[in-house]
Amino acid sequence: MQKTPRTFKYIDNNAFIGGVKIQQLIEKFKTPLYVLDQKTIEENCQHFMDPLKKNYPNSEVLYAGKANLNIAIAQLINSLGLSLDVSSGGELYTAIKAKVSPEKIYFHGNNKTHEELELALDYGVTVMLDNLQELENIIKLHTSAKLISIIIRLKPEIDAHTHKYIRTGQLDSKFGIDRKQAYEIIKKIVDHPKLKLAGIHSHIGSQIFDKAPFFELIDILVPYIKQIKDEFGIELEVLNCGGGMGIYYSDKDNPLQITEFITDFCLKLKEKCHQEKIALPKLLFEPGRSIVGSAGITLYKVGAIKEIEGIKTYLFVDGGMADNPRPILYQAKHVFGTVIKRNKITKKYSIAGKFCESGDILAENISLEEVNVGDYIIVFATGAYNYSMASNYNRNCRPAMVLVANKKAKVIVKRESYGDLTRLDIEI
């Protein structure tokens, strides 16, 4: 069970990642600081790609860009052989700037604007269709001779056991089309000369540790592919089963063993397709968090320590909810560590951020090696959703991001400045 990046270790009581001393990263790049371990990303990609290559060669892994995306990450993911799923015009533009080819981009979203759809149609990416209005918008906006590939996002009506904010497969989800209502949409696509119905897609949620809902998805979607074949006389080429495989954040988490999960999933899918007498579709998965989450750490400086006698001790850091909103949004837990190990004495701390919200608490009453003002701490498993959900709350600057590999560190996102904060402001 992976609790830290692959290359993270202590040498002579000093923390290292990617062969780089973390204290040196702090001295050069300051804090707060996002750090990604390239080797962890590479190995996590292989954990999906290797068993798929062995058990289901007609497959594709799509990195879910919403987890963490910038030009460098898109380039790295592309170089490792993955495709990319994006969920906004900004994510799509980032993929285009990273020179990811259109056939490797899949565009999600439940309310794509006309401007976003125009960008997608012009570049020629596959559109993951969410509703009838979106289809009507595509038909209206698509004026070229280019054939646009469409995959319909269906509601599988599966209630995955995860936080209610990150469930996406249940009937009342804002995402996707009710299976009973999809036939009108399918007919419109099939009858349109410039649109191609490539396949179907479903996503059941995030941070899932149970195989059962994924296997249930097969039992729902494969018969539906058969129904479409019988009704419209077409063999769908693609079955996109989403992502959502959970990662380790704390001792309460028990992630799936990916190789075993993929192997079992492929076996069940092949058996179900044989049972329904349909050709094996191309299989797509969309891991995001499970690719990049464990690869990331965030570094903070301790600015003050406030002890409330008999109640708790606050440890104030120079970041918080604006660069890691997951604790306040989802009551998320993280493992913490120190950059330098000085002694084995531990104390209970509540890690509090610097933002003007009482809920800006990264951890409550956790055990941590005793620290002093000016020391630095590490938050593990922050590679997913921390940067992508970061804000400028209280007009604070968002942190820099560094990629480490082979004893070298490279800035892939610059630290924002006060000038960046006011760059788009207009004086009156």
Question: CB within 8 A of 275, min separation 6: which ones?
Answer: none
| Cα dihedral 320→247→43→399 (10° resolution) | -10
**For 315, what's the count of Cα atoms within 13 Å in the CB-facing half-sphere?**
27
Among 172, 156, 130, residue whose Cα is nearest residue 208? 156
- Contact between 153 and 126 under an 8 Å Cβ cutoff? The reply is no
Write out the DSSP string of 195-206.
Answer: EEEEEEE---BS
Write out the DSSP string of 1-42.
Answer: ---S-TT-EEETTEEEETTEEHHHHHHHH-SSEEEEEHHHHH
Distances (CA, A) of 33 to 46, 386, 389, 398, 401: 27, 11, 15, 9, 6
> Can you read off the two tokens belonging to residue 182?
């999809």
> Can you read off the two tokens belonging to residue 331?
């009551």
Catalytic residue among 241, 273, 356, 397: 356
- Contact between 378 and 342 under an 8 Å Cβ cutoff? The reply is no
DSSP 280: P
Judge whether 266 counts as a catalytic residue. no
CB burial of 160-176 (b: ≥16 within 10 Å; e: otherwise) equals bebeeebbbbbeebebb
DSSP 183: H
Beta strands in 244-345 (DSSP E): 282-285, 296-308, 312-317, 336-338
> Can you read off the two tokens belonging to residue 346?
């531990």
Counting Cβ atoms within 10 Å, is residue 123 exposed (0-12), middle (13-18) or buried (19+)? middle
Cis peptide before 32 (omega within 30 of 0): yes
Classify the C-alpha dihedral 76-78-81-83 as positive or negative.
Answer: positive
| Cα dihedral 354→355→356→359 (10° resolution) | -100
Please list the active-site residues. Answer: 356
